[in-house]
Structure 1
Amino acid sequence: MAPSVAEPAAISADVEWQESACRTPTGAECRIPEPTTCPPAPRKLRSESSGYNSWRRYAPAPETKFFLPKAADLEKIFNVHTVG
């Protein structure tokens, strides 16, 4: 196949598009600077030994009281039906 006359124009248009297309800046002024020193280590959280809730840690747990129903009341609620 013989080369056509339109091919050089297509190649030059492609080169122009590549030159005018968006590109990532690569100059030294656009680069992220290298850190001069390392950042400090993270600090530990303060203990809450002198805080508002510190007394709760050492206070005895409150006594839990349960409702104790009578056996007759339980039989009324959970009446067992026998199949006969």
Structure 2
Amino acid sequence: MNRAADAQIMVKEAIAGVSSDILNINQRIARAQEKIKEKNNRVAAMDELIEINALDVLDETDPIQEELNKIQKEERIKQELEQLKKKKGVS
């Protein structure tokens, strides 16, 4: 009888250990899913900011981008000036 009781205790402890391991795994999965959800939300927020050009300020800190923006702006001004001159008949 003693051996049967010992065996039952061992089986129940093993089951309890497995249950505990499963609970830990489920908790880890839930935490990982939450982290993934948080990162996806951050990506979506960044995409929205990029879409509405709210992040243009970041481009201005890049000296190369600043120079390109300046050149593009100057080129647009030159083109507009040429168009106005053509309308007025001035060379």
User: How does the TM-score come out when normalised to structure 2?
Assistant: 0.29
Question: Higher Cα Rg: structure 1 or 2?
Answer: 1
User: How does the TM-score come out when normalised to structure 1?
Assistant: 0.31
Structure having the larger proportion of residues in helix: 2
